[in-house]
Amino acid sequence: MDITTMRKIIVVAGARPNFIKIAPLMTALAELRACTPLLVHTGQHYDAGMSEVFFQELQIPRPLYTLGVGSGSHGEQTARVMLAFEPLLQHERPDWVVVVGDVNSTLACALTAAKQGVPVAHVEAGLRSFDRTMPEEINRQLTDALSALLFTPSEDANTHLHREGIAAAKIHLVGNIMIDTLRRYEMAARARQTCQRYDLAAGSYALVTLHRPSNVDERETLQAFLHLLARIHERTPVLFPAHPRTQARLQAWGMTLPKGLRLCAPVGYLDFLSLMADARLVLTDSGGVQEETTALGVQCLTLRDTTERPVTVTCGTNRVVGTEPCRILTAVNQVLAAGPIPKRLPPLWDGQTAPRIARLLAEVGGVGEAGAPPREVAAQLESNSLQHI
């Protein structure tokens, strides 16, 4: 389709995983020369190790707007983003608002845009854990319901959206945008050999991340994880880059770390990618880490009862093992006893997701009824509506 008009597109980022996803999209939109991408940083993550380092390492352009909403309860944070984003929208009057992932900023900006009659495009749409106790699950479902374009990373996401009654014309399987960033920086990350900084040898350690409220906000639960890590450390060294949320809980409760456990502050994207690539296994409650380890071919144990990324289990290296210590320890022992497993990638996890998204955003124009594309755009989507681009 000929591109005849310049689109003004606001791209929203608010938290660490968002920065990884918008980095290749900002590049792809700028290279297309049919869009004016405007980056808005809500400030949901504001710690230098969770925000600034990503802008530096991933060469993300400085945000045109920084909302500075900071931390708070889910309701407070969502409300602050909406209050700050509404006048910005009224001033800029964009053709599209692009939101990514499932954090509070994602839902807040999608809802504000929909109420202003600005079409929303959701990158990483359709993921479902079916666990409504996770705030992210509520954010995902509501954002998808508000969006005019839904860019999905895997076939299961398409299936979920179809079952929820979302028109097929809105849904586009484009692949996993996090893999775009991973492939671009993988060699540079591996060259860092970050594990040596912690006196670890490649292929000889377990890497751990914990940050979800269900795992760190109860003293007994967090203490149980520390005891578990001590037992894992008896089998293999353990490195634990602690999320600020987790660090705050450890300090507030005066918890003593098991002897030999390596605890460190959050590391930047390149260092963490290097640590993942060289790990023998990864234990995590993060969604993105499940995807990144699949792409790297590193075995991952997900410390949750559900995952919104089941493709990492069926096609990748991930196992969902829950939070019961004995079950986790058994899985760890199985991984350590077994050899490497074959690496398989889901379709379109090829590092070219951002250009696919950028082309669609450039071709589809016009501001219509909130939450739905205008009629001529809907017809265009129907004619182009393909599961693959």
Give the up-direction half-sphere exposure of residue 207: CA atoms within 13 A in the CB hemisphere: 29
Catalytic residue from among 41, 122, 172, 211: 211
What DSSP state is assigned to residue 258?
P
Question: How many residues make up the chain in this entry?
Answer: 389
| Residue 211 annotated to the active site | yes
d(CA 181, CA 106): 20
Contact 153, 177 (CB under 8 A): yes
Query: If residue 123 lies in a helix (H) or strand (E), which one and from where to where?
Result: strand 120-123
User: Which among 277, 159, 145, 263 has a CA at the least distance from the CA of 208?
Assistant: 263
User: Which among 287, 285, 313 has a CA at the least distance from the CA of 299?
Assistant: 313
Contact 17, 288 (CB under 8 A): yes
Helices within 254-339 (DSSP H only): 269-278, 287-296, 311-314, 325-337
d(CA 233, CA 258): 9
Residues forming the active site? 211
